Amino acid sequence: MKRKITKTQFFDLWWDEFCADKSMTGVGCMLCGSNGSIDTRGKVFTAAGVECGGLAFCICPNGRALKRAHEIAIARQEVGQ
């Protein structure tokens, strides 16, 4: 049986694995370069040569902030219609 981890434990593991320092003043996120999104379009392909890359929000604080802002913008747009 697997034990679930909390969000705090997950982000602590993420910091340890992908951040040079926890202040994010140096390198910052090593997944997205601290810009908040990961773009693999035109870079990732299947064995058959079919493109399968995409654009996604990163799990770093910048990516989470961008995702939240995007969700708020979509919600406002739906209310306005």
Kind and range of the H or E run holding 56: strand 55-57
pLDDT band at 4 (very low <50, low <70, confident <90, very high): confident
The per-residue pLDDT for range 42-74, each reduced to its tens digit, is 888 999 999 998 999 998 888 888 999 999 999
- pLDDT band at 29; cut points 50, 70, 90: confident
Q: Is the pLDDT at 27 greater than 70, yes or no? A: no
Cα separation, 53 vs 35, in Å, equals 18
Dist CA 24 CA 40 (whole Å): 23
